Structure 1
Amino acid sequence: MADDSTTIELSRSELRAVVGYAAACAQPALAIFERERPDDRRPRAAIDAAQVFAQGAARTKAMRDSAWAAHRAAQETRDAGRAAASDAARAAGHAVGAAFLHPLAHATQVKHILGAAAHAARALELAAGDDPTVGADHLARVRILARPVVVDVLRRYPVAPRGGGRVGELICQLDASLR
């Protein structure tokens, strides 16, 4: 495990694996957002951009823009009182945002690796009447999806920081289970 003063080496293939994992984690929650806002393609575009990067495309400004667009969609749905759809859109934004994981050993960077999974789990919980077992089930599924390269990258960072409400709890749970 690294401390906050070190730089972490990340190869492009490792970064692609992290982004592919994040996109796979976010994908199941996308339907929640699309039920609420069927004409809003921003979260889907973010996941699509993540998948294209994971398959070998260049990291671009358009990817970063799609992350911000998904986060704007999340804010709009939260403002409209649709918390589950908001977390689903956040999951999509975090999926493509994982391509911008910083190679600095800061615990906050763990959110770039696991944020998509945690927000998707929260979206699924909220859509099921705020049932934490649904989130736990999603975390169990995404643990299986984590290829060894993703776990190796995760272990280079300090453990996820405490805080951040329910999503923060989910990040910490997934972090602990993958290490």
Structure 2
Amino acid sequence: MDRPTEEVLVHPDGTTITFLGRGTDKKGEFLIVEHLVLKRGAMNGPHWHPILTESFTVKEGKVRFIVDGEEQLLGPGQHIKVLPKQVHQFWNESKDRLIAIHEIRPPGNHWNMFSLIHKLTKQNKLNSKGIPWNPLWLGMAWECIDGYIVGPPIFLQRGVFGGLARLARAIGFQI
């Protein structure tokens, strides 16, 4: 599938994720989205991806990244690349809003993750930190990050979260 069925995901708080493109070039497969974020604060927890490379370019506002323990504050026109296996986390530090272009190579399940979080947000099924209340949805969300959260051992994440995702799909949960 080259294009998602929903190309703009608008959350109740105004956060918007816009599909800009997906394809293959000389560097391989990619997905490009634009994030518009109005809420200040953490946008995710510390995590890492075994094979994904993520690049972020700030168009408006400020975003703080911690990548492998190194902190950077980026403003308009600035760029950061997060390589496979680098632990990273980021925060919207903008006074008004953040707009950033996000490229994911290869795309993995990232669009599914954005779609699932959008769906759960609209259905009020996330806690204040953006984590699904229902463990089955949590498993589905974990599966979509194409990586691992920092803390629990990998085998435990695969067993618990992966098992929850398999059970969720078996009983009919869909992104």
The two structures have a TM-score, normalised by structure 1, of 0.26
Between structures 1 and 2, the one with greater strand share: 2
State the TM-score, normalizing by the size of structure 2. Answer: 0.26
Structure with bigger gyration radius: 2
